[in-house]
Chains A and B, each alone.
Chain A
């Protein structure tokens, strides 16, 4: 079946602009994650959604970052007033919450964000 998809694949923006990144999880996966991968650093957890529960926002680096998940499916990560240090690859992952692979997170291809 189809994997996790993300759009756009690349985004170039000017400092101070707002950006929205989109994630479509694997159909039927109720858990959804956002991570950030900066050059030379490991993947950094940002936020986690599980069903109708309140999201775990503990990884968001500042209040300029926010995310929502509509209808338990598509998620949007919004970065307001972008800064150059926000430049990174933003990865989305989804996970089934039942069965033998309930712990495995499956990643999308990422959105490469460049802030000029």
Chain B
């Protein structure tokens, strides 16, 4: 069964204190791994898609990396406006091709203190 586990559940950082969020996954075959940001009361906002081990993508203070078992979202010198819940999701492959749905983790709640 496809599964996504995110850690830690919550993380509190001081402004400028870099850290990483973890997303471990188990899938029969990986089509893609997705990172989203979700602010309170809003829908998830797309950040990155990663397709193969070794791939990296960057956007401002965020960098996402992928291995065969997990993905990391690295946050460099975070600011208070980076405070949000970060969601990881996978889309798997089966004999018929890519499956239709994303399997989400429960997210990491990040709080950046000024």
Contacts and interface: CB of A to CB of B under 8 A. Distances in A.
A and B form one complex: yes
Interface string A1-33: 000100000000000000000000000000001
Interface stretch (A68-76, A80-88, A106-114): A106-114
B104 A103 contact: no
A48 B106 contact: no
Interface in A29-72: 33, 35, 40-45, 48, 50, 56, 59
Given A43-B102, A48-B101, A109 B42 contact: yes
A91 interface: yes
> Which of B4, B41, B44, B103 has the most chain A CB within a 10 Å cutoff?
B44
A91 B104 contact: no
Contact of A56 (B31, B100, B102, B106): B100
Interface residues of A, number: 24
Contact of B45 (A40, A42, A43, A107): A107
B31 to A, nearest CB: 7
A42 B43 contact: no
Contacts of B98: 103
Given A42-B106, A105-B46, 13 more contacts: A33-B100, A35-B104, A42-B104, A43-B44, A43-B102, A45-B101, A45-B102, A48-B101, A91-B43, A103-B91, A103-B98, A105-B34, A107-B45
